[in-house]
Amino acid sequence: MKNVVIVGTQWGDEGKGKITDFLAQTADVVVRYQGGNNAGHTVIFDNQKYSLHLLPSGILNAKIDNVMANGMVINPKALIEELTKVKDHKLYISNRAHVVLPYHQALDRAYDRANKIGTTNKGIGPAYTDKAARQGLRMADFINPPKFYQFLKETLPIKNKLLTELGEQPFVLETLYNEYKDYAKQIEKYVIDTSQFLNQKIVENKKILFEGAQGVLLCLDHGTYPYVTSSSPTAASVPINTGIAPWLLEGAVGVTKAYTTRVGEGPFPSEIEGELANEIRTVGKEFGTTTGRPRRIGWLDTVVLRHSKRASGLSSLAVTLLDVLTGIDEIKVVKDYTFNGKTIDYIPANIDEFKACKPNYITLKGWQEDITQVKTYADLPANTKIYLKTISEMVDIPISIFSVGADRNQTILIEPIFKED
Ligand code: GDP
Ligand code: IMO
Ligand code: MG
């Protein structure tokens, strides 16, 4: 296996950044394929914490290539800010990626006021809307000043009209242009045809990691619509979002938090509240990397995991934040739902039906031992092993990685991800 995807299997924040950074040490290229700075991927090593939003989580490894592919929507100002926080790097940005402009953010705010999804307010939905409506700005045109000016001249009056109607401030063309053309100048050197670049790397037999943002339940198609993001984090979206052939993908690692979290609105059957939720939130530091919002907490839900497996294809699981469950006497895991008096094992497409689903649990004994220094699977307490084994059996996927702390070193590889032919 040389071309492997890292996919979030829940509602985001599963630890994709950490797993990507860990695997990047043995990869040649890391590619972010969708989303924008709505993502917040935390990487910790050598007592340093990095919060990455746009940059691929391989960026902290000076030796490897990092690609921001055509499926991304990129806020240039945020990207430049983020670049100041990383040192040596090899970065390539797709000339087909779309640009997030300040009016996208203003529209995001206005739309979320009217129809609350609880977005990250980074302009992601409006930027993808413009892409689909063929009213977006691509990197290739952004870095061409006359093209960029012409684009704003044609587009801004329409956006301003809409913004004024929605109670937001309009933008002044010259001010916006002057500020953003400087950003374009700084970014220009990174912009290439990344599909060509990646296909060349494939010819050279390089190991490529595709890093998803968000999670399958936030997928525009397979998530809990409308409480989703505006792109597809699934493995299936990699080819179109990067410009490689579908059959070149050889595996998908489903990053799975040992429990569940969700930020923003939307149904969450296994959600727990009260003292235990607060405890897990505190121990797991469950506050958004992007917005700082407290994350909602729930038990692990295997209906969600089987849905992700089906919709995205998962060859193995990376189970993260296992240490956060230490000390809990009894751990629950959702096995199926009851809906309208019937037992079901799927996520209804109708959001009101999903809201009405009541989770059915199995209960497992917890463990009291500190597992944060564990280095091998064999070292885990018996009940932790049972927990992992139960998850693996309930979802019918092997576990390739587990993690017992936020640091890069607290990641344990059970099965190699990159396999030589
Ligand atoms: P991502 O969006 O999927 O990359 O995940 P985030 O970085 O938003 O959220 C995961 C959080 O869990 C971050 O604060 C990580 O530092 C932290 N984390 C990752 N793995 C572990 C783990 O095994 N144990 C603990 N305690 N924290 C972890
Ligand atoms: P990472 O990559 C968790 C959620 C938002 C909101 C919904 C739509 O760090 O896992 P958007 O701004 O995308 O239009 O918001 O999706 N959301 C995330 N939740 N982790 C993320 O990314 C998220 N990106 C978006 O909270 O509910
Ligand atoms: Mg995150």
> Does the pLDDT at position 189 exceed 60?
yes
What is the per-residue pLDDT for 356?
98
Q: Which run of H or E residues covers position 382?
A: helix 382-395
User: Which pLDDT tens digit goes with each residue over 52-99?
Assistant: 999 999 999 999 999 999 999 999 999 999 999 998 899 999 999 999
Helix (H, G, I), strand (E, B) or coil at 228: coil
User: Which pLDDT tens digit goes with each residue over 128-169?
Assistant: 999 999 999 999 999 999 999 999 999 999 999 999 999 999
The DSSP code sequence of 87-152 is -S-EEEEETTSEEP-HHHHHHHHHHHHHS-----SSSHHHHHHHHHTT---BHHHHTSHHHHHHHH
Give residue 209 CA to ligand 3 midpoint distance, Å. 18
8 lines ligand 1 (CB under 6 A): yes
What is the per-residue pLDDT for 1?
76
260 lines ligand 2 (CB under 6 A): no
> Does the pLDDT at position 289 exceed 90?
no
What is the per-residue pLDDT for 207?
97
The answer to whether 265 and 69 have CB atoms below 8 angstroms apart is: no
Give residue 127 CA to ligand 2 midpoint distance, Å. 15
User: Which pLDDT tens digit goes with each residue over 239-283?
Assistant: 999 999 999 999 999 999 999 999 999 999 999 999 999 999 999
What is the per-residue pLDDT for 421?
55
User: Which pLDDT tens digit goes with each residue over 191-227?
Assistant: 999 999 999 999 999 999 999 999 999 999 999 999 9
213 lines ligand 2 (CB under 6 A): yes
CA-based max dimension of the chain: 65
CA–CA distance, 106 with 113 (Å, rounded to integer): 11
Q: Report the chain's mean pLDDT, rounded to a whole number.
A: 97
pTM metric for this prediction: 0.97
From the CA of 120, give the closest atom in ligand 2.
12
Whether 98 is a known active-site residue: answer no
What is the per-residue pLDDT for 31?
98
Give residue 240 CA to ligand 2 midpoint distance, Å. 21
- Note the ligand closest to the C-alpha atom of 266: 2
The answer to whether 138 and 149 have CB atoms below 8 angstroms apart is: no
What is the per-residue pLDDT for 260?
98
What is the per-residue pLDDT for 117?
94
Q: Which of 28, 41, 89, 323 is catalytic?
A: 41
40 lines ligand 2 (CB under 6 A): yes
What is the per-residue pLDDT for 232?
98
- List CB contacts of 67: < 8 A, sequence separation 6 or more: 29, 30, 31, 32, 56, 91, 92, 93, 94, 194, 197, 198, 242
100 lines ligand 2 (CB under 6 A): no
Q: What's the average model confidence in pLDDT over 165-187?
A: 98
Residue nearest to atom 26 of ligand 1 (CA): 405
What is the per-residue pLDDT for 241?
98
Q: How many CB atoms lie within 10 A of CB 163?
A: 19
Give residue 291 CA to ligand 3 midpoint distance, Å. 10
User: To test the ligand 2 pocket, which listed residue (16, 120, 262) has its Cβ within 8 A of the most ligand atoms?
Assistant: 120
Q: What's the average model confidence in pLDDT over 117-136?
A: 97
User: Which pLDDT tens digit goes with each residue over 302-358?
Assistant: 999 999 999 999 999 999 999 999 999 999 999 999 999 999 999 999 999 999 999
Query: Quick one: pLDDT band at residue 299, thresholds 50, 70, 90?
Result: very high
The answer to whether 344 and 337 have CB atoms below 8 angstroms apart is: yes
Give residue 7 CA to ligand 3 midpoint distance, Å. 12
39 lines ligand 2 (CB under 6 A): yes
320 lines ligand 1 (CB under 6 A): yes
Residue nearest to atom 20 of ligand 1 (CA): 406
User: Which pLDDT tens digit goes with each residue over 313-324?
Assistant: 999 999 999 999
Whether 41 is a known active-site residue: answer yes
> Does the pLDDT at position 291 exceed 90?
no
Token pair 């924040």 in the structure block, residue:
13
Tokens of 90: 């090899």
